[in-house]
Amino acid sequence: HYRYIMRSSIIFFVLVQVYLGSASLHHKITYKSFHDGLRECAEYYEISNCTLDKYIAESYPNIEPVQRLIHCTLHNLVSWTDGKGVKEHVFRNFFVPAVGDTCYANRTRECIRSACHRLDHGNHFARAYETFQCYYHQWGNISPKKQFIPRTEYDFDTLLLEVIQFRHVPECELIEYSKGNVLDQPNFAPSYLLGSVRGGYYSLKHGISLENLYTQFGCPELLTKELKQCVEGVVKQYCDDSHEVKQFVTFKNCLNSVIPWYSRVVAVSKEKLYGKAPCKSCVAAKEVPYVVHHVPASVGAAPKPYYNVDH
């Protein structure tokens, strides 16, 4: 009787560990808070914790080391592109506006227009710093929560290449992908599920994450009521089918015309088959202007700070 109890206890313990392990799988998904990204960059620049805490206490003073630190942090959170500026659909996640504040987005955009209009296009440190200050004072308080970190374009293409390798997609199918014949190929549906789970856009427990897809791609349609209803309709209709079927039909019916997954599969397949196309603009590359928002001919004064104001 004692041996039976011990054996049962061991089996139960193993099952619990297996369950807990599967429930905490990270796949290739990254979550960071703003201060996670900030402290990582502080290490890169050999800034001590004491100095960093001083910068934070002083509301990030406008000095060159802090400018470099903020620029690094925005890159670290995949929320900034030199030459283009802030990715609002990403960086917004790290700030919490006050309840009842409905003007935070417009205030922040106006602040960025005003602050960056007077800066040289090549001064990326100062532009990133001023953009951060606009979010810090106009969008809301810094959130302590960890947020989903999207992939860079390179990392997203790498994810698709990994999926091709994991599924061992044959060359004949890659050729069809490269021609644009994607959806009807035998490996696409399971590959799409694999990439969605590994990338953090779908989980077997919670289903699709439109929020993470929006953070990745920035397509406003992902947050619309119509698209949400489309997804819910597929889940309801195919409730007894596999995750693979539900994800494939969701992509085909709801997402294919919204997110660039299809086009990236085509591009990545071409690159894998034929190599990367030579850069046509490498010889005479030009500085790309910032396109955060249209800057009018006459830019008004920046709005007064709304959050994190020294009294």
> Is the Cβ–Cβ distance between 260 and 217 less than 8 Å?
yes
Mean pLDDT on 155-160:
98
Mean pLDDT on 76-104:
98
**Is domain 31-148 annotated with CATH 2.40.40.20?**
no
> Is the Cβ–Cβ distance between 195 and 160 less than 8 Å?
yes
The upper half-sphere exposure of residue 198, i.e. CA atoms within 13 Å in the direction of its Cβ, equals 18
d(CA 261, CA 215): 14
Q: pLDDT, tens digit, for every residue of 62-87?
A: 999 999 999 999 999 999 999 999 99
The upper half-sphere exposure of residue 120, i.e. CA atoms within 13 Å in the direction of its Cβ, equals 4
Two domains, one topology: 31-148 and 153-274: yes
**Is domain 153-274 annotated with CATH 1.10.238?**
yes
Q: pLDDT, tens digit, for every residue of 175-233?
A: 999 999 999 999 999 999 999 999 999 999 999 999 999 999 999 999 999 999 999 99
Helices (H), the chain: 2-23, 34-44, 49-57, 64-76, 88-91, 104-117, 124-134, 153-167, 171-178, 188-199, 210-217, 225-237, 243-250, 261-274
Task: Write down the pTM of the prediction.
Answer: 0.85
Domain boundaries, the chain: 31-148, 153-274
